[in-house]
Amino acid sequence: MFLVGALATLATVTPLFLGTTPLPWGFYWLCMLMGAGFLVAASGVVRSAVVQRRQAVAAAEGSVPSAPSAT
């Protein structure tokens, strides 16, 4: 998704530098996929970090011996 948006951005900006006619408005909408792809990737990283943190906490709780009771 990010790659498609990045390619659309390059295709949209190139005519501006070359002095040719701009591309149709559909390409400008495709450029928004770059931001959407970044958000999808960032949310995947955050979700993975949360899962790893939960696994680490669960492993730490399971490996720590319980304190003896004071009775």
Number of other CB atoms surrounding residue 53 within 10 Å: 10
Res 53: pLDDT:
93
Res 45: pLDDT:
96
Res 27: pLDDT:
85
In the block, which residue shows the tokens 């659309």?
8
Indicate the pTM of the whole model: 0.64
d(CA 71, CA 45): 47
Could you give the C-alpha distances from 59 to 18, 30, 48, 56, 67, in angstroms and in order?
Answer: 58, 44, 16, 5, 17
d(CA 27, CA 10): 10
pLDDT tens, per residue, the chain with 71 residues? 989 999 999 999 999 899 889 888 888 898 999 999 999 999 999 999 999 999 988 888 876 555 566 55
